């Protein structure tokens, strides 16, 4: 795994979503689209917090209701569920709703107790308090307790912008029913706000059972120990943003929460995004398979959420029908998927910074990710002919590829581009490989891109055969 991480850390692609996001240095314009971020070992996927010279802030409530400042509209602790759907909320082709805000108190959400002991600092809000205490001790202060505390307090994105001297935009939330809670971290000695946090709680609106939580933090580095840098797993290298691999989930058998964190630091300001999901328990026993599926879905939603931080002009979620109807890119989406793959999300961006359509499907721990965008100048370095097998044939490069792929070929071997007229089944088979990770599914994995005229289709797949993928690619635009 270490060798794989070292290999991936040396990859600098120009653009791909769901494993790596490309960002420009502050105040430098760009026409790049995000690229597929590299996959971590066994669980599904991951995205990265990006600043394009500006930092961003979460959608605290649905459009035109963020945040609540009128006390008459504060979340209620009793009474019926009140929904406030986003302007874009509507059923998708599978009947799944998009993000719908419910004006309820989080105390109404039913959560299962943790049977295993969860240490203090396991969650990022606690960890920030520990880092504040370390900072105080390092400068000779001896604060009572941790020297800071979280206050239940509402705030606006303007409050964050003014406090941290940044510009902010709103991300697009994952699909589902949710409510919010806001807190600020207060320095006990100075009595000032040093961090902002918004929690998004997703739940089953019929049973009120907890499903997942996403928390977004904004803070100034100077208030915390330098150990905060050790927590950073999102970094900028040569103008590109990279995310470290997530370690495989090891708590599928235990009744403890599944938690992932993405931490990005830039110009003295930090952004952290944390996702949490519980194990699936039936009859008092943890269901490993269903738990892993839920963990992977939560990771995927985390990435999709952070993806919306990339753009100065954020995109929007689409249902499947709207995605296929997209005039520019809808015709490049797969039509006939292998049996059992269900639609997850579709996301459209259309701005000077990004012009693309992303869609994904899943089958258990398998997935099909599909990204469509214009072919750009930076993509040309990954274009290869079928004759140049060294550029794409994975059978030439045994795992760990950090040791087997020459450094000068790593970018193109990681994600080569083929012209559709050159694509053959043998080429697709050359891109497919299988690994055996504990707790993961068996089956082919593959990642590559296909050029249709001046439109680029990038794919990242686990659990579909090369034959099925080749047939899908051949049917596009016919």
pLDDT at residue 471 above 70?
Answer: yes
pLDDT at 35: 33
pLDDT, residue 421, reads: 96
pLDDT, one tens digit per residue, over 273-305 is 999 998 888 887 888 888 888 888 888 888 777
109 versus 16: the higher-pLDDT residue is 109
CA distance 20 to 13: 8
Query: For the residues 174-197, what does the mean pLDDT come to?
Result: 92
Q: What is the mean pLDDT of residues 453-475?
A: 95
Q: What percent of the chain has pLDDT over 90?
A: 41
Cis amide prior to 127 (ω within 30 degrees): no
**Residue 401 or residue 151, greater confidence:** 151
Confidence (pLDDT) at 144: 63
pLDDT of res. 254:
64
Alpha carbon distance 82, 76 (integer Å): 10
**Rounded CA separation 165/294 (Å):** 37
Residue carrying the six token digits 């706000």: 193
Asked if 449 contacts 457 with a C-beta cutoff of 8 angstroms, the reply is yes
What number of H helices and E strands is found in the chain?
10, 21
The percentage of residues in the chain with a pLDDT greater than 70, rounded to a whole number, is 71
Say if residues 463 and 363 touch (Cβ distance below 8 Å).
yes
How do strand 281-282 and strand 285-286 relate by DSSP bridges? Answer: antiparallel
How far apart CA 277 and CA 284 sit, in angstroms, is 17
Q: Please, which pLDDT band fits residue 264 given cuts at 50, 70 and 90?
A: confident
- Where does residue 140 fall: left (phi above 0), alpha (psi -120 to 50 degrees), or beta otherwise? left
Of 47-61, 183-197, 388-402, least confident by mean pLDDT is 47-61
Burial 93-103 (b: 16+ CB within 10 A, else e): eeeebbbbbbb
pTM of the entire predicted model: 0.53
Residue 128, Ramachandran bin (φ over 0: left; ψ between -120 and 50: alpha; else beta): alpha
Instruction: Compute the mean pLDDT over every residue in the chain, rounded to the nearest whole number.
Output: 76
Of 85-89, 307-311, 355-359, the poorest mean pLDDT is in 85-89
Residue 452 β-bridge partners: 455
pLDDT bracket for residue 30 (50, 70, 90): very low
Question: What is d(CA 435, CA 143) in angstroms, rounded to the nearest whole number?
Answer: 50
Region 339-345: mean pLDDT is 92
Token pair belonging to 170 = 């709103």
pLDDT of residue 469: 97
* E strand spans, 23-94: 35-36, 83-85
């Amino acid at each position: 795994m270490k060798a794989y991480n070292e290999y991936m850390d040396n990859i600098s692609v120009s653009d791909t979503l769901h494993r790596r996001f490309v960002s420009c240095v502050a105040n430098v314009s760009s026409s790049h689209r995000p690229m597929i971020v590299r996959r971590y070992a066994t669980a599904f996927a991951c995205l990265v917090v990006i600043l394009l010279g500006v930092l961003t802030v979460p959608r605290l409530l649905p459009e035109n209701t963020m945040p609540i400042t009128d006390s008459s509209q504060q979340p209620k602790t009793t009474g019926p569920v009140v929904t406030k759907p986003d302007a874009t909320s509507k059923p998708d082709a599978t009947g799944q709703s998009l993000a719908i805000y419910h004006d309820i108190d989080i105390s109404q959400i039913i959560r299962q107790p943790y049977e295993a002991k969860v240490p203090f600092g396991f969650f990022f809000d606690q960890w920030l308090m520990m880092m504040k205490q370390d900072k105080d001790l390092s400068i000779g202060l001896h604060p009572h307790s941790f020297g800071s505390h979280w206050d239940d307090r509402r705030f606006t994105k303007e409050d964050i912008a003014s406090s941290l001297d940044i510009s902010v935009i709103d991300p697009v939330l994952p699909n589902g029913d949710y409510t919010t809670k806001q807190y600020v971290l207060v320095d006990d000695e100075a009595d000032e706000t040093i961090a902002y946090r918004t929690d998004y709680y997703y739940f089953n609106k019929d049973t009120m059972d907890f499903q997942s939580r996403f928390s977004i933090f904004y803070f100034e580095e100077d208030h915390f120990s330098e150990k905060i840098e050790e927590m950073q797993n999102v970094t900028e290298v040569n103008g590109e943003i990279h995310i470290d691999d997530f370690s495989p989930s090891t708590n599928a058998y235990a009744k403890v929460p599944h938690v992932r964190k993405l931490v990005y630091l830039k110009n003295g300001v930090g952004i952290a995004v944390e996702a949490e999901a519980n194990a699936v328990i039936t009859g008092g026993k943890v269901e490993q398979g269903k738990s892993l599926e839920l963990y992977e879905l939560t990771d995927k939603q985390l990435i999709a959420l952070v993806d919306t931080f990339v753009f100065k002009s954020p995109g929007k979620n689409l249902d499947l029908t709207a995605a296929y109807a997209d005039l520019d890119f809808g015709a490049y989406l797969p039509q006939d998927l292998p049996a059992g793959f269900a639609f997850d999300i579709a996301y459209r961006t259309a701005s000077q910074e990004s012009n693309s359509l992303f869609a994904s499907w899943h089958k258990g721990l398998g997935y099909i990710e599909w990204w469509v965008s214009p072919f750009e100048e930076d993509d040309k370095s990954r274009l290869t002919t079928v004759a140049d097998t060294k550029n794409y044939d994975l059978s030439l490069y045994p795992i760990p590829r950090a040791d087997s792929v020459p450094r000068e070929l790593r970018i193109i071997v990681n994600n080569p581009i083929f012209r559709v007229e050159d694509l053959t089944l043998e080429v697709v088979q050359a891109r497919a490989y299988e690994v055996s990770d504990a707790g993961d599914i068996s089956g082919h994995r593959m990642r590559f891109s296909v050029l249709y005229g001046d439109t680029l289709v990038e794919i990242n797949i686990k659990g579909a055969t090369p034959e099925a993928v080749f047939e899908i690619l051949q049917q596009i635009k016919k």
